[in-house]
Amino acid sequence: MTASGVSYVPAGTGTVYQGSVGTLDGKQVVALVSATSGPRLRLVFRLNIDTAAGTVDGTTTAAPMGRE
């Protein structure tokens, strides 16, 4: 991995969360992001990588984390 920056804007909110990849494990990527105001979020990307077709799709889930 050469970069780990992550930006996330939940639909309809306009709130920008920024952070970095914390874990990269095969087809799963976990990132921790935060906004100026609001909870920290744990994003989990579960990817389906088709190298023959050159495509990637998958799902993303977001869960709030406690404030530190």
pLDDT digits over 6-59, tens only?
Answer: 999 988 988 899 999 999 998 999 999 999 877 899 999 999 999 999 999 999
Q: What is the pLDDT of residue 68?
A: 45
With the C-alpha atoms ordered 10, 16, 17, 21, is the resulting torsion angle positive or negative?
positive
Q: What is the pLDDT of residue 60?
A: 93
Report the distance separating Cα 43 and Cα 29, nearest Å: 8
Q: What is the pLDDT of residue 1?
A: 72
Structural domain tally of the chain? 1
Residue 52 is encoded by which pair of tokens? 């023959």
Structural domain range at position 45: 5-65
